[in-house]
Structure 1
Amino acid sequence: MAKAQIGIYGLGTMGSALALNIAEKGFDVAVANREVEWIADFIREAGPLGARLHPHEALEDFVAGLKTPRVILFMIPSGAPMDAMIAAVAPLLSPGDTIIDGGNADFHATRRRAEEMAARDLHFVGMGVSGGEDGARHGPSMMVGGSEHSWRQLRDILRAIAARHEGDPCVDRLGPDGAGHFVKTVHNGIEYADMQIIAEIYGLARFGMAQPPAEIGAMFARWNAGPLQSYLVEITAELLGRTDPATGHPVVDVIKDAAGQKGTGRWTVIEAVRMGQAANMIEAAVGARAWSAEKETRQAAEARLGGARGALDLGEEVLADAFAAARILGYAQGFRILEAASREYGWALDHARIAEIWRAGCIIRSALLDDIAQAFRGDLPAGQLMLAPSMAAQLTAKTPALRRVVCAAMEGGHAAPVLAAALGFHDTMRQGWGTANIIQAQRDFFGHHGFERLGQEGKFHGPWWD
């Protein structure tokens, strides 16, 4: 039997979709799964592609069925299951072999695993995969972190299966060890913020402007034909136009308003704070999901405190401009977090290339990413995306609409935590003279912490200590 060029262990939704994608591109794929009874069904359902899929029930046979140096992609839950699998498979491998974790993993664990594997002359890759099941099957965006050796093993396969934007494969090696998984984590943090912005705009139109879902969906469809084009805008337009077959109501009205989360948004916020970076838009989006889960509490609070009552006079153009400004600020925060991590871990992340990888295949793909990539390749004052000439011009033109929307929402009692956070970030960062001098004076007064003086080196104390 011919040996396969890559092995995929884990035939769940994403693993099976990637295996079919790789086979369709002309590569032989060894496949295995913990629940061995899944394997035969998968091969049968693959149809003609089954000729390039090589099933194995035993882990030893699976590893033996791969060309050397071996490449094995694990599509299994991260954390303890991944560590257990490494312990089982590593003794079967040879120097130069590569293991890939394709799940949403904590990048700290990825860095640890890469170091442990390198001590055995084995290579560990943390690969972020975005695009869901359809993306995995027909072209995902992939963010790779690992050694140059492992990238040479992987790149032909990954470039073949990746989504493409104007012919450019949306995949690249972004750095060593945890770089790929960290970039995917921040991708998901930006995704949280963008989704919440869309939800807030929907809420303002629905409950503040009394527009029915289908009408709001039509507005999003119009936006998707212009500068606000994105995958999330596209699917929002689609879902708002759908009717629930069981009740005849708009389907969005029968969905419980409690959003789940799997942790990557929280990870983004935690790492940002740890590195001294504010991610208030992502933090607000994570908080909004947490509050959404407390439906009974919210219902009790509405009965006692009263819900939103103010009618809003906001036109479609104002909402669109507010959305555009908030989206730029959300991406700007995400790339600030990436830059902080790049400095701390010595990754030398290429922000323009990351933006290019995100242009197709992934959940946050949008027309704005072309502008962002160009901005990072051009004049970038202080290294800040929001100060790039093209971004600054858009913010100058569109932030007044964001201010109007946030003020109207606050006045009417409508919740808009991420839109408000975006405005707060914008207004704070454009104040050359802020108010932290008061905080430093307070800290010195109660704790003798000291402070810097303008134009002078050293640490000083206030006259209250004389």
Structure 2
Amino acid sequence: MNEIGLIGLAVMGQNLALNIARKGYSVSVFNRTPEKAQEFMQNKVKDEQIKPYYDIKSFVESLKRPRKIILMVKAGKPVDDVIQELLPYLDKGDLIIDGGNSYFKDTSRRIKELEEKGILYLGMGVSGGEAGALHGPSLMPGGTQDAYEMVKDVLLKIAAQTEAGPCCTYVGNDSAGHFVKMVHNGIEYAIMQAIAEVYDVLRKVLKLSPEEIGEIFEKWNNGELNSFLMEISYKIMKYKDKETGKYLVDLILDEAEQKGTGKWTSQTSLDLGIPTPSLNLAVEARSLSFFKEERVQLAKRVTKIYPEIDIDKEKIIKDLENALLFSVFASFSQGLWVISEASKVFEYNIDLSEVLRIWKGGCIIRAKILDFLRDIIKENKENVNLLNSEKALSFLMDKIDSIKYITNLAKDFYLPTLVLNSSLDYFLSMIEENLPANLIQAQRDFFGAHTYRRIDKEGIFHTEWEAE
């Protein structure tokens, strides 16, 4: 009898199965397409205790009770379909773990539906891509504490290991795990877009080659901007296409696709009433990129008059580094605020410091700055957006002139910098005592009698703005 089962043998599923087996556990695997399982066994499995099964019944019967089954299948209907296939063969107390990028509301529904049948369920965010799945991902399991305890040992062993401990923790109740992974992806979108905007300034304003940009990114990666995304960015810059000998990044079509998690983050933040402009604009930037044909046509019709200015290369590079740091901080600030609010609204009981800790290794958004963010949270656990800290304000104010300069420079050169701009505007909004929303509220009262409050006395007021 094997200790754990895994369904879904695409690359992530294959690598996770190998990771689990290499940590000393026996694994049963199943894939809806039998050829995939056969190919996996022939090409990837060597001495690992992994055994394939070709029908659901024998797969389930091969597992020790209570059974523990990880699903690594596409989010949405495929998850529900697999659960329905499993149910006739499961017993009360068995556990299903969804390791895909499922929408958190689907996870909440599945937890309730399976609870009625006596089946335990964990929604587990998995970050780290193919390499992370094999060598140690960041794991974000959410559900009941009892369900987590059943697989705690294996999850802690297969997770990435850092000086702060394994990159896995019990995230919280209900769909907390998938919620945190969703917001993780929203932050990921924003940081990727910010790096892309900085790259755009380097190539179009400073006219640097991919190799030169790669050198700058590598230098930044050795400093405060050290992160997985910075590391892969400098490696991408230096990579040459074997067929043409040209830098491959220059040959890739500028249409960025998306799987939906960034959009879900934006929609959910709007529902919760938490401002996440950097995360939202990163989603918009991908949508804009998809209109390639329209962009090509409009670019031909517009004459761009560029400024005649002395380019101080070293200053611009330093300001770009600061602007990127500012934007990365703002992205985390917004994402953590959403997680904190959701934790209250959905009663997840999430520890933000623990979330930052498990993002330190194996994870796409792992970065040096996470230690700094954890220090800020440790000072005050109620500081949910990180901004209510002298450390944070000093960090941002030290870089504000740089991001103002870069966003203005980009505009002079007709370059869109959606995330850099929105990160700056987010901070400017948060440090402004008097926003112009008073006029908006007056307008709402004018056309819809929506009422308003006053700053000089208590109460709710309405005015007949055009009294006869």
Q: TM-score range by the shorter chain?
A: over 0.9
How big is each residue's C-alpha offset from its partner over 1:173-219, in whole Å with a ceiling of 9 and x where there is no partner? 11122111110010000000000000000000100111111101100
Q: Which residue of 1 aligns with 2:10?
A: 12
Q: Which residue of 2 aligns with 1:452?
A: 453
Instruction: Return 21-30 or 384-393, whichever deviates more.
Output: 384-393
Whether the aligned pair in 1 keeps the contact of 2:316 and 2:406 (CA below 8 Å) is no
Whole-angstrom distance in 2 between the partners of 1:297 and 1:89: 48
SS in structure 1 of the partner of residue 117 of structure 2: coil
Q: Which residue of 2 aligns with 1:347?
A: 348
Of 22, 25, 28, the match for 1:27: 25
Whole-angstrom distance in 1 between the partners of 2:160 and 2:252: 31
How big is each residue's C-alpha offset from its partner over 1:218-241, in whole Å with a ceiling of 9 and x where there is no partner? 000000001110011011111101
Of 203, 207, 210, the match for 2:204: 207
SS in structure 1 of the partner of residue 108 of structure 2: helix
Q: Which residue of 1 aligns with 2:303?
A: 306
Matches within 5 A, 1:51-66: 52-66=49-63
The code of the aligned residue for 2:388 comes to L
Whole-angstrom distance in 2 between the partners of 1:308 and 1:252: 27
Whole-angstrom distance in 2 between the partners of 1:79 and 1:446: 42
Q: Which residue of 2 aligns with 1:333?
A: 334
Of 172, 175, 185, the match for 2:172: 175
Whether the aligned pair in 1 keeps the contact of 2:336 and 2:384 (CA below 8 Å) is no
Whole-angstrom distance in 1 between the partners of 2:199 and 2:318: 14
How big is each residue's C-alpha offset from its partner over 1:271-307, in whole Å with a ceiling of 9 and x where there is no partner? 0111112211111111111111111111111101235
Of 85, 108, 111, the match for 1:111: 108
Instruction: Return 301-310 or 390-399, whichever deviates more.
Output: 301-310
| Percent identical residues | 38
SS in structure 2 of the partner of residue 142 of structure 1: strand
Structure 1 unaligned segments of length 5 or more: list them: none
Q: Which residue of 2 aligns with 1:240?
A: 237
Kindly state the Cα deviation for residue 464 of structure 1 after the two structures are TM-superposed. 2.6
The two structures have a TM-score, normalised by structure 2, of: 0.96
Whole-angstrom distance in 2 between the partners of 1:409 and 1:285: 17
1:153 paired with 2:150, answer yes
Of 273, 283, 287, the match for 2:270: 273
Whole-angstrom distance in 1 between the partners of 2:305 and 2:356: 38
Whole-angstrom distance in 2 between the partners of 1:105 and 1:26: 28
Instruction: Return 452-461 or 389-398, whichever deviates more.
Output: 452-461
Whether the aligned pair in 1 keeps the contact of 2:125 and 2:141 (CA below 8 Å) is yes
Whether the aligned pair in 2 keeps the contact of 1:380 and 1:387 (CA below 8 Å) is no
Whole-angstrom distance in 2 between the partners of 1:103 and 1:428: 36
The code of the aligned residue for 2:22 comes to E
Kindly state the Cα deviation for residue 381 of structure 1 after the two structures are TM-superposed. 6.9
Change in Cα spacing, 1:105 to 1:308, as seen in structure 2 (3 Å) is farther
Instruction: Return 153-162 or 41-50, whichever deviates more.
Output: 41-50
The two structures have a TM-score, normalised by structure 1, of: 0.96
Whole-angstrom distance in 2 between the partners of 1:291 and 1:46: 40
Q: Which residue of 2 aligns with 1:43?
A: 41
Whether the aligned pair in 2 keeps the contact of 1:32 and 1:56 (CA below 8 Å) is yes
How many residue pairs align between the two structures? 463
Kindly state the Cα deviation for residue 38 of structure 1 after the two structures are TM-superposed. 2.4
Kindly state the Cα deviation for residue 463 of structure 1 after the two structures are TM-superposed. 5.5
1:404 paired with 2:402, answer no
Q: Which residue of 2 aligns with 1:426?
A: 427
SS in structure 2 of the partner of residue 27 of structure 1: coil
The code of the aligned residue for 1:70 comes to R
Q: Which residue of 2 aligns with 1:358?
A: 359
How big is each residue's C-alpha offset from its partner over 1:47-86, in whole Å with a ceiling of 9 and x where there is no partner? 4434x11221111111111111111001111111111111
Whole-angstrom distance in 1 between the partners of 2:415 and 2:41: 52
Whether the aligned pair in 2 keeps the contact of 1:170 and 1:361 (CA below 8 Å) is yes
Whole-angstrom distance in 1 between the partners of 2:151 and 2:305: 53
Kindly state the Cα deviation for residue 347 of structure 1 after the two structures are TM-superposed. 0.7
Q: Which residue of 2 aligns with 1:417?
A: 418
Whether the aligned pair in 1 keeps the contact of 2:266 and 2:276 (CA below 8 Å) is yes
Of 113, 125, 129, the match for 2:126: 129
The code of the aligned residue for 2:327 comes to A
Whether the aligned pair in 1 keeps the contact of 2:306 and 2:412 (CA below 8 Å) is no
Whole-angstrom distance in 1 between the partners of 2:409 and 2:297: 25
Whole-angstrom distance in 1 between the partners of 2:39 and 2:240: 34
How big is each residue's C-alpha offset from its partner over 1:84-110, in whole Å with a ceiling of 9 and x where there is no partner? 111111121111111111111111000
How big is each residue's C-alpha offset from its partner over 1:299-336, in whole Å with a ceiling of 9 and x where there is no partner? 11110123584576452211111111111011101111
SS in structure 1 of the partner of residue 379 of structure 2: coil
TM-align CA RMSD: 1.5
How big is each residue's C-alpha offset from its partner over 1:26-55, in whole Å with a ceiling of 9 and x where there is no partner? 0011111111122233223344434x1122
SS in structure 1 of the partner of residue 288 of structure 2: helix
1:231 paired with 2:232, answer no
Q: Which residue of 2 aligns with 1:282?
A: 279
Structure 2 unaligned segments of length 5 or more: list them: none
How big is each residue's C-alpha offset from its partner over 1:355-374, in whole Å with a ceiling of 9 and x where there is no partner? 01101101010000111112
The code of the aligned residue for 1:446 comes to F
Kindly state the Cα deviation for residue 379 of structure 1 after the two structures are TM-superposed. 3.0
* Structure 1 moving runs of 4+ over 6 Å: none
